[in-house]
Structure 1
Amino acid sequence: MPFISTKTNVTVSKEKEVQLKERLGKAISIIPGKSESWLMLAIEGDIPMYFRGDDSASIAFIEVKIYGNASPDTYGKMTKELTGIYGDILGVAPDHMYIRYFGSDDWGWNGNNF
């Protein structure tokens, strides 16, 4: 049950959206037991955002939510991959993005909880 939410001040064209979808779909497998077949994405672009009081640079806030938990080493590998993805596709510098991870055993789907 992975969910990756992206908020950015960058304009995300349909082409960039598809590129993000494809690359995030591959990247999620860094987390053991996770795959694109269960991945849900939300991509919000053109959001007014400020970092260090400035809105002139490309900025992104990414949340990765998963069923269960992963090790700090795994999250570190995921951060490295996500930093590359958002840099390549949206031009966000590594020092202008935050990535937040949430693990939980309380997930519902299809009228039931896991």
Structure 2
Amino acid sequence: MPFIDCRTSVALSARTRERIKTRLGQAISALKKPESYLMVGFTDEYELWFAGKRAERGAYVAVSLFGKASSADCEKMTGLVCAILHEEADIAPEQTYVTYHPVSDWGWNGSDF
């Protein structure tokens, strides 16, 4: 039950969002989660500030997971997320934050897992 909330300071075309979504769907296996339950959300042209300056090309990505992933798996996922955003949206890894949020209670389809 992962949810990836991707916020970027740059505008993303529908085609770019689709490519990023597809690649995140492949990358989620790094956290031992299936794409079949992955939900991805985008907020582009989001105002981000980094190190006291406006981030012209920055990103904040929050990954919520049912359960907890290992630190090694999170590190692998961070590398993949940074590479995807760099290649698809020209957002440098040093302008990208990725956070992980384990969730113990996750609801879907009228009940909790």
TM exceeding 0.5: yes
Q: Identify unmatched segments of 5+ residues in structure 2.
A: none
In the TM superposition, structure 1's runs of 4+ consecutive aligned residues that sit over 6 Å from their partners are none
Per the alignment, residue 24 of structure 1 pairs with 24
Give the AA of the match of 2:68: N
Number of positions where the alignment pairs a residue of Structure 1 with one of Structure 2: 113
Q: Give the direction of change, closer, same or farther, for the CA distance of 1:105–1:14 in structure 2 (3 Å limit).
A: same
Give the AA of the match of 2:66: Y
1:83-94 map, 5 Å: 83-94=82-93
Q: Return the offset for 1:53.
A: 2.3
Q: Identify unmatched segments of 5+ residues in structure 1.
A: none
1:34-49 map, 5 Å: 34-49=33-48
Per the alignment, residue 78 of structure 2 pairs with 79
Structure 2 distance, partners of 1:67, 1:58, is 30
| Of 49-58 and 77-86, the range deviating more from structure 2 | 49-58
Give the AA of the match of 2:61: I
Please state whether the residue corresponding to 2:5 is helix, strand or coil: strand
Structure 1 distance, partners of 2:54, 2:87, is 20
For residues 10-60 of structure 1, give each alpha carbon's deviation from its aligned partner in whole angstroms, at most 9, with x where no partner exists: 10101101111110010001111x111100010110112221222253010
Please state whether the residue corresponding to 1:4 is helix, strand or coil: strand
**CA RMSD of superposed structures (Å):** 1.0
Percent identity of paired positions between Structure 1 and Structure 2: 36
Structure 1 distance, partners of 2:6, 2:25, is 14
TM-score normalised to structure 2 length:
0.95
Give the AA of the match of 2:59: A
1:10 aligns with 2:49: no
